[in-house]
Amino acid sequence: MITLINRLASVQHLDNDNLSKLIATCCHDDNLFNQLRDKATQTAREQFGLGVYMRGLVEISSYCKNNCYYCGLRRDNKNASRYRLSDEDILACCNEGYAVGLRTFVLQGGEDAAFADNRLVSLITQIRHTCPDAAITLSLGERSAESYQHLFEAGASRYLLRHEAANPLLYDHLHPSNMSHANRINCIKSLIAIGYQTGMGMMVGAPGQTIEHLIDDLLLMKQLQPQMIGIGTFIPHPDTPFGMHHSGDLRLTYIVIAIARLMHPQANIPATTALQTLSPTGYIDGILSGANVVMPNITPLALRPQYEIYKGKHHTNTPIAETIQSLAQQLATIGYHL
């Protein structure tokens, strides 16, 4: 098995059968699990040293026209209390983040028609003006290729759109019939063709997902070569059709993150909020599985609880500067810095 890890590290690829063996063995063999994570951490260090990048996350709207079966922001969740930030709010979040050293802002939200292209173009233009050396990342779901193009021309240079499931049948199991795997993948291909640094990814432990599905995810990402890879653990939200399912497995999540790192040495891979939600050491265990990015939440404090994609989503109740200081302290315990 150790030869498989070494081969994965040296050629950045393994076939389906070997990935399957490696994952299955790491699930129960602590020694191999640790070796895999060590190799992934070492690979990340060769690229990024002991530095971890920060991306300031602004959750701009909890309104969504979609009805994904797993997500607490789904349209039919009548128990959700919804908010939408004003342009002034969003600019204030970015300016506050900028003042404490953030140089990438991620504007994420549900698919909310209030954020039409003209409004986003104006927002992007203003952020570019007040934070000239900051990168703007969008994570606003599926839009037309024309829309992605306009936003790119306005100055957004990165876009996160998890593919959610490479296997079309699993995709259909997780989404209502008006959403399609083909459209999701087309959106990702448009983003790549336009020139965005593009992020893909999926949840580990989504209802109905098998190890084979995760291998399909790894192989699809190998094929499309995203610059960013977001992998979190599925966590149920009671007001969704999947509310009765249990959370995905953290250990399996770390295994998949480590393999993604070995397949994509240069990709930006965040230690996601889902990890920290399931474990108080989630962020650092993500870093110790090969992740190299953390995404401090810079949404206005009072609204953070309302962006509830899953139950109990981790959020700090502290101003940005303190959140960053606490992240720095956690990372320092394993010898890393922001």
Query: At CA 173, angle to CA 170 and CA 174, rounded to 5?
Result: 95
Kindly state whether residue 161 participates in binding ligand SAH, applying the rule CB under 6 A: yes
Q: What's the min distance (Å) between Cβ of 238 and ligand SAH?
A: 10
Dihedral sign from CA coordinates of 134, 303, 60, 53: positive
Find the part of the chain contacting ligand SAH (CB under 6 A) among 15-23, 156-164, 290-298, 320-328: 156-164
Report d(CA 248, CA 207) in Å as an integer: 8
Nearer to ligand SAH, 13 or 251 (CB): 251
Residue 44: what are its φ and ψ, rounded to 5°? -65, -40
Kindly state whether residue 309 participates in binding ligand SAH, applying the rule CB under 6 A: yes
Among 150, 175, 181, 237, binds ligand SAH (CB under 6 A): 237
Q: What's the min distance (Å) between Cβ of 16 and ligand SAH?
A: 23
Among 33, 171, 310, 336, binds ligand SAH (CB under 6 A): 310
Residue 233: partners with Cβ closer than 8 Å, 6 or more residues away: 203, 204, 205, 247, 248, 249, 250, 253, 272, 274, 275, 278
Residue 32: what are its φ and ψ, rounded to 5°? -65, -40
Among 165, 200, 229, 235, binds ligand SAH (CB under 6 A): 235
State which H helix or E strand residue 104 sits in.
Answer: strand 104-109
Kindly state whether residue 249 participates in binding ligand SAH, applying the rule CB under 6 A: no
Q: Distances from the Cα of 210 to the Cαs of 45, 246, 252, in angstroms?
A: 30, 14, 11
Q: Going residue by residue from 263 to 302, which x/- string records binding to ligand SAH, judged by CB under 6 A?
A: -----------x----------------------------
DSSP E strands, 155-306: 158-160, 197-204, 228-233, 293-294
State which H helix or E strand residue 56 sits in.
Answer: strand 56-61
Q: Restricting to residues 203-232, which ones interact with ligand SAH according to CB under 6 A?
A: 203, 232
Residue by residue, DSSP assigns 154-191 as HT--EEE-----SSHHHHHHHS-TTS-HHHHHHHHHHH
Kindly state whether residue 63 participates in binding ligand SAH, applying the rule CB under 6 A: no
Nearer to ligand SAH, 60 or 215 (CB): 60
Residue by residue, DSSP assigns 134-158 as -EEEEE-----HHHHHHHHHHT--E
Nearer to ligand SAH, 38 or 142 (CB): 142
Rg over alpha carbons for the chain, rounded to the nearest Å, is 19
Residue 81: partners with Cβ closer than 8 Å, 6 or more residues away: 62, 306
Nearer to ligand SAH, 22 or 291 (CB): 291
Among 5, 164, 191, 299, binds ligand SAH (CB under 6 A): 164
Q: What's the min distance (Å) between Cβ of 111 and ligand SAH?
A: 6
Q: What's the min distance (Å) between Cβ of 159 and ligand SAH?
A: 9
Among 150, 162, 213, 314, binds ligand SAH (CB under 6 A): 162
Among 141, 207, 270, 296, binds ligand SAH (CB under 6 A): 141
Residues touching ligand SAH, count (CB under 6 A): 18
Site of interaction with ligand SAH (CB under 6 A):
70-71, 108, 110-111, 139, 141, 161-162, 164, 203, 232, 234-235, 237, 274, 309-310
